[in-house]
Structure 1
Amino acid sequence: MNRDPSTLHRILVGLTGWGDHPDLYPTAQARKNKLRTYSAHFPIVEVDSSFYAIQPEKNYSKWIADTPPDFSFVIKAYQGMTGHSRGDHPFASLDEMFEAFKRSIQPVIQAGKLKAVLFQYPPWFECTRIHVNALRYAREKMGELPVALEFRHRSWFAPPMRNKTLAFMEREGWIHSICDEPQAGPGCVPTVLHATNRRLTLVRFHGRNASGWNHTGDETWRNVRYLYHYSKEELLEWKEKLQLLQQTTDEICLIFNNNSGGHAAANAKQMMRLLGIENQGLVHGQLDLFQL
């Protein structure tokens, strides 16, 4: 049965960052302005440089100018805001840090291009009262801005806590960032197909490299952890999952992060084809997943 076009739910597909995807930039001209080229392929991108340092406003202003009017950004929260830095940051207080971050992204907000701020917490961020309070603090400091939440410790979704975690996210107004990742110990989470925000849900594809997920000991961990190429069959698994999510959320953003070996762009393009989404970045019109 065809649905009224006014009720169609959007699916946007993009990547983490725009710099490290060589397949998208085969010519010198394409490499000259990577974000402009990127935005001809995809309508959304995750900004990860904001995790390592609060970016100057001029950077965001340039990125806005380099992208089409309906392009949007998922901006990753600064590492001090999620506890990754373990208190080692250049700010006098948490309040000052949050305010500095919010000021930095004002150009994106004013341009109407902010999809969400992504708070991805570290693997040691377990389900404890102290950490629940930290989530409440972060949500309060971000005010009315759309914020997405991604856990990296499975205690949040262990059977005794799963429903409580999801209910908490709904009450507090968190957008669920659902993970596709290997199940390789406590420092990862299962795929929980539950939208906590009617407006938006994120799905982030980290790959399924179970043997490399817990690689530690040197600075090559990132090159190992996200080294994975999704098969067609694995991507097709998500078609049914997305159908379920579409019943409870108006928009879904799929972000591919499996780029240790340069696989993210190819898998994202493949997913678009499987979903019947053509030239998403160029056309900027969206096809519903099941209007095929």
Structure 2
Amino acid sequence: MAPFRIGTAGWSIPAQHAAAFPAGGSHLARYGARLPVVEINSSFYRPHRPATYARWAATVPEEFRFAVKLPKEITHVLRLAGAEAPLARFLDEVALLGPKLGPLLLQLPPGLGFDAALIGDFLDLLRARFSGPLVCEPRHASWFDGAADALLAGRGIPRVAADPPPAPGAARPGGWPGLRYWRLHGSPRMYYSPYAAERLQRLAALLRDDPAEHWVIFDNTAEGAAWADALALLFLTR
């Protein structure tokens, strides 16, 4: 059975869920005792020193994994073009996670349509420096007509399944089928709404029936729903 890697976007444990995690230690150490993965989103906004990544890696169990979001300088400012220097800097930083580094998350701006030449050139640049898992989260409607999935699948890159979906087709995983990466932002109110028990049960059944490796990241963190949802889904998949 492929693993279910379930966690949240960030690890600062809200007060209302503190009792669900061990007492004592840093938020990350407490988080890592209950949940097996986390998504680092702060890397999108600012760089972190290599020593910071090394400290984070040393804080969690051996089997724990970090997903890390690529910087907005690369994706939203440069829009994937001429990104050699910031990409090299970012990869040097995250390398200090060592074997605990999981997928890199390439989230694209909503206005960036599918351009096979542009994305192909960027992925070639990235793959020349990084051979680990990479997932792509496009948000423009032109990415969901089949051509983009074929390009990603041919390069071994999954397409994120997002909720709420930014475009028709975005709610389903795409691209390379060997890994499924779900980003669940809360619905109907994005970043706030918890998921109903029935929704989590349906997702758990889907995960159990699919032999691929699954990452499920809850990003409905604004009022703390993500931590309860992640723990509930983890329980349902055992």
**Shared fold by TM > 0.5?**
yes
Give the equivalent residue in structure 2 for 1:201.
180
CA 1:15 to 1:78, structure 2 compared with 1: closer, same or farther past 3 Å?
Answer: same
Quick check: 1:139–1:147 contact (8 Å CA) kept in 2? no
Give 2:29's aligned residue: 36
Q: What residue is the counterpart of 1:169 in the other structure?
A: 152
C-alpha distance in 1, partners of 2:209/2:50? 38
Distance 1:120 1:30 in 2: 34
**CA separation of 1:123/1:18 partners in 2, compared to 1, >3 Å: closer, same or farther?**
same
Residues 182 and 215 of structure 2 are in contact (CA less than 8 Å); yes or no, is this contact kept in structure 1?
yes
> How far apart, in 2, do the equivalents of 1:197 and 1:61 lie?
31
**Aligned equivalent of 1:288:** none
Q: Which has the larger radius of gyration?
A: 1
TM-score by length of 2: 0.87
Where structure 1 has 5 or more consecutive residues not aligned to the other structure, the ranges are 1-7, 213-224, 278-292
Cα distance in 2 for residues equivalent to 1:20 and 1:138? 36
2:14 is the alignment partner of 1:21: yes
Is 2:207 the counterpart of 1:242? yes
- The alpha carbon displacement at 1:196 in A equals 0.7
1:1-292 correspondence to structure 2 within 5 Å: 8-26=1-19, 30=23, 32-82=25-75, 84=76, 86-87=77-78, 94-109=83-98, 112-129=99-116, 131-133=118-120, 135-137=122-124, 139-157=126-144, 161-162=145-146, 164-182=147-165, 186=167, 190-194=170-174, 196-198=176-178, 200-209=179-188, 225-246=190-211, 249=212, 251-275=213-237, 277=238
Give me the whole-angstrom Cα distance separating, in 1, the residues matched to 2:175 and 2:114.
Answer: 19
Instruction: Tell me the TM-score normalized by structure 1.
Output: 0.72
Instruction: Give percent identity, aligned residues only.
Output: 25
Contact 1:204-1:257 at 8 Å conserved across structures: yes
SS at match of 2:150: helix
State how many pairs are aligned.
Answer: 235
Distance change >3 Å, CA 179–CA 138, structure 1 → 2: farther
Change (3 A) 1:47 1:104: same
Q: C-alpha deviations, 1:149-196, integer Å up to 9, x for none? A: 111222211xxx22x22111111221332222256xx5x753124461
Does structure 1 retain, via aligned residues, the 8 Å contact 2:159–2:173? no
CA contact (8 A) 1:169 1:176 kept: yes
The code of the aligned residue for 1:76 comes to K
Partner deviation per Cα, 1:234-272 (whole Å, 9 max, x = no partner) = 1122134324532xx2x1111111111210011111112
CA RMSD across the alignment: 2.5
The question of whether the paired residues in 2 share the 8 Å contact of 1:182 and 1:208 is answered with: no
- Could you report, residue by residue, the CA deviation over 1:106-127 in whole angstroms, capped at 9, with x for unpaired residues? 2113xx1111111111111122
Contact 2:191 2:219 in 1 (8 A): yes
Q: Assess if the C-alpha contact under 8 Å between 1:45 and 1:73 holds in 2.
A: yes
